[in-house]
């Protein structure tokens, strides 16, 4: 990512509340928040800024990475569909009804998540054991 664009993004992020630390590494913005519950608001703010000031045909994907969040700046067609139906209603293969249901609802309707909590608990226990060296 160009240094000028990185500076614009960092300057904007500095204006946001709830940011403890921010850094751009290899074009990805890493942010540590004071309260993780505001991550979606921060995601929306960064995306709105990016589309208005830098690339109107771009998007921003957010990932949780340990205790921080990573924001990737991607072309519009590679953006994860997490925003309003209005923005995605015209995209190929996506209809507003599909967006409303989401992946979780599709699995729930098919009964595919009945055993999920047990599996998740087992995986979390294994992960914790690995961290402790067991």
Q: What is the pLDDT of residues 70-80, one digit of tens each?
A: 999 999 888 88
pTM of the model: 0.60
Please give the CATH architecture assigned to the domain spanning 1-83: Alpha-Beta Complex (3.90)
Which residue intervals of the chain bear CATH 3.90.1070?
A: 1-83
Among candidates 44, 13, 16, 45, which has minimal Cα distance to 29? 13
Quote the pLDDT of residue 132.
75
Tokens for 5, please give them. Answer: 């664009």
Which one-letter DSSP state was computed for residue 50?
I
């Amino acid at each position: 990512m160009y240094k000028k664009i990185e500076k614009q993004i960092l300057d904007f992020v500095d204006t946001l509340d709830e940011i403890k630390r921010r850094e751009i590494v290899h074009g990805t913005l890493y942010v540590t928040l004071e309260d993780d519950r505001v991550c979606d608001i921060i995601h929306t703010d960064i995306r709105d800024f990016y589309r208005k000031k830098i690339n109107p045909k771009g998007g921003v994907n957010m990932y949780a990475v340990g205790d921080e969040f990573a924001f990737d700046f991607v072309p519009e067609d590679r953006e994860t569909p997490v925003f309003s139906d209005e923005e995605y209603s015209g995209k190929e293969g996506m209809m507003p009804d599909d967006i409303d249901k989401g992946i979780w609802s599709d699995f729930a309707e098919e009964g595919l998540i009945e055993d999920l909590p047990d599996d998740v608990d087992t995986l979390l226990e294994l992960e914790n054991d690995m961290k402790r060296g067991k």
